[in-house]
Structure 1
Amino acid sequence: MEFIVTDLDGTFLDDNKHFNAKLFDEVLTDWEAAGNRFVIATGRELKWVEKVFSDFVDRIDVVSSNGAVVRPLGLPEMRSMIAPETLVELQHFIEQSGLLPTGGLRTYTDDAMYLVDGMGEIEPESYAFMSSLYDGVDEIKSLAEVKTPVSTVTGRWPGNHEDGYQVMEAINQSGLPLFATTSGYGTVDILPAGVNKAMALDKLVAALGTTNDHLVAFGDGMNDYEMLQHAHTGYVMPNGNAFLLEQKEFKHAAFDNNHDGVLKTIQAW
């Protein structure tokens, strides 16, 4: 069985968070007819994917929250979670390090979204959309107030694109049982230790009871790096991270994310 796996932001979606539904349906229909699977692998939450891809969600597999949530088509979802006691330690680390986000710090349980006060504000459009998915946003003073496990914590340090990398490295060197990754633009996703998109794809394939005969992956950011390395063939978007574009092991998609790059590359095979 063969798999196509694609990131969303900066890869499958254009800069306005849209995609060519008609072309996707054509490509997906041909891919399904050959007995293969199409996987979305994104840092976005599962509820976000299910909303945006409502017309296709019953035809695709989903890896969300950068690998913390795996939803094989027709099977129960699998989650890797951050324990509440680790959230307490993370809150303390962020405060003590002085690396405070200015574009919001948020986390999610299965049914709720929490936004931490004093850590900046997320964009109004994003706030409104997420509020509709989670029936509102619970504002809290500290991550320590969250008493149930969460799949991810996301913060944004938008003052300087390098700030996200600095925070990512600091968390990964902190000794906490966490793994931080970034899709760029100052956004950092904090996950349970050992979680990434590549690991999640292995869980997906195992849950399906099949083998990964050939996996083609598309991505644009550092949160896609492990996935692109893990794939038989990895494609970086022309608009992607400079480091990824320099890696000789990866191919380049035919067009960028604003010109249906993923779908047109598939059509050209």
Structure 2
Amino acid sequence: MIKLIASDIDGTLLKKGETSLNPHLFEQIRILKEKGIVFVAASGRQYANIRRLFDPVADDIYFIAENGSLCRRHEKTLLKGVIERNLALEIIREVQKKENVECMVSCEDAVYIESEDPAFCHELFDILQNEVVQVHNLAEDVLGDILKIALFVKDDPQETLNHFQQLFSSRIAVVTSGYEWVDFIAPSANKGTTLAALAESLNIDAQDCVAFGDQYNDVEMLQFVGTGYVMSNAAPGMAYYSAFVTDSVVDEIDDIISGLEI
């Protein structure tokens, strides 16, 4: 029996170039709530950004943000993962050596950048609509707990991913997230471990959970749940981690709801 549905956002609920969710999803979430089924928005995005996307139903769902480093509901932090500061500074300084890569450091209150690159700023301010603070130097001026470090890659995300995995994968997870991003996720924090902790707190068994994803930052979440779906345009190899492939999360939720009403 399905008791929880979790979905990634970029590339899953939102296709490339889309900036707003299908309004039908909000009605689905209301129906799921009436049926006692929990909905979880799970993304590499900032919490404030995800909450804004789901504004019509924001008080009806759970949020897993920053690729699992933060879990919130009703503006209350339930779980938080932090990157050890010396490791975070080492990563930031290595990123600062690399051309054509912009860096964003996520804390609980805002994301921090030092770049004034027009394309990067457009992505953060206009597309993602993040809460952004510009500083002179990320390695020196970010004082709060660091939940995630994200790289906006202008050229080849795979080359950037390979480079930083070779340097840091023994100490921290380095994964693709969306179409142009490479993320460093707090050790032991990912969408899967955070979803598992949330499900346990709600007394929901993994076999009663469904998840949707498209990128390698969704792997642990798909592995945790009883039923996993990857998108038909998912990253190469992602189908290995799920039982089903789909073109539309909304269509699949419609089918789930129809099954509940039989």
Matching residue's letter, 1:152:
K
Query: What are the within-5 Å matches in structure 2 for residues 200-239 of structure 1?
Result: 200-239=194-233
Residue 267 of structure 1 pairs with residue 254 of structure 2: yes
Structure 1 residue 89: Cα displacement: 2.0
Structure 1 residue 128: Cα displacement: 2.4
| Cα distance per residue 1:92-123 (max 9 Å; x no partner) | 4445xx5x2524201122333321349x6653
1:240 aligns with: 234
1:169 aligns with: 165
Runs of 4+ in 1 over 6 A off after TM superposition: none
Change (3 A) 1:128 1:91: closer
1:64 aligns with: 65
Aligned length: 254
Q: In the aligned structure 1, how far is the partner of 2:212 from the partner of 2:236?
A: 15
Residue aligned with 1:107, SS: strand
1:147 aligns with: 143
Structure 1 residue 153: Cα displacement: 0.9
Q: Which runs of 5 or more residues in structure 2 are unaligned?
A: 257-262
Change (3 A) 1:142 1:33: closer
1:258 aligns with: none
Structure 1 residue 76: Cα displacement: 3.5
Residue 123 of structure 1 pairs with residue 124 of structure 2: no
2:9 aligns with: 8
Query: What are the within-5 Å matches in structure 2 for residues 174-193 of structure 1?
Result: 175-176=170-171, 178-193=172-187
| Cα distance per residue 1:57-105 (max 9 Å; x no partner) | 101111010000011457533211123332222234445xx5x252420
Residue aligned with 1:57, SS: helix
Change (3 A) 1:87 1:172: closer
Query: More displaced, 202-211 or 236-245?
Result: 202-211
Change (3 A) 1:137 1:148: closer
2:243 to 250, 253, 260: 250
Q: In the aligned structure 1, how far is the partner of 2:14 from the partner of 2:241?
A: 25
Query: What are the within-5 Å matches in structure 2 for residues 5-154 of structure 1?
Result: 5-15=6-16, 16-21=18-23, 23-72=24-73, 75-94=76-95, 100=98, 102-117=100-115, 122-129=119-126, 133-134=130-131, 136-154=132-150
Q: In the aligned structure 2, how far is the partner of 1:90 from the partner of 1:154?
A: 10
Change (3 A) 1:105 1:41: same
Change (3 A) 1:249 1:91: closer
Change (3 A) 1:19 1:206: same
Q: In the aligned structure 2, how far is the partner of 1:227 from the partner of 1:168?
A: 23
Change (3 A) 1:128 1:218: same
Q: In the aligned structure 1, how far is the partner of 2:175 from the partner of 2:250?
A: 26
Structure 1 residue 144: Cα displacement: 3.4
Q: In the aligned structure 1, how far is the partner of 2:192 from the partner of 2:99?
A: 27
Q: Which runs of 5 or more residues in structure 1 are unaligned?
A: 256-260
Matching residue's letter, 1:157:
V
Residue aligned with 1:44, SS: coil
Residue aligned with 2:26, SS: helix
- TM-score (normalised: structure 1): 0.83
Q: What value does the CA root-mean-square deviation take over the aligned residues? A: 2.6
Query: More displaced, 51-60 or 61-70?
Result: 51-60
Q: In the aligned structure 2, how far is the partner of 1:137 from the partner of 1:122?
A: 16
- Identity of counterpart residues, as a percentage? 22
Residue aligned with 1:137, SS: strand
| Cα distance per residue 1:109-153 (max 9 Å; x no partner) | 2333321349x665343232489653x522222423322211111
Q: In the aligned structure 1, how far is the partner of 2:243 from the partner of 2:34?
A: 27
Matching residue's letter, 2:120:
E
Matching residue's letter, 1:163:
E
Residue aligned with 2:183, SS: strand
Change (3 A) 1:185 1:133: closer
Contact 1:104 1:122 in 2 (8 A): no
Contact 1:236 1:252 in 2 (8 A): yes
Change (3 A) 1:73 1:113: closer
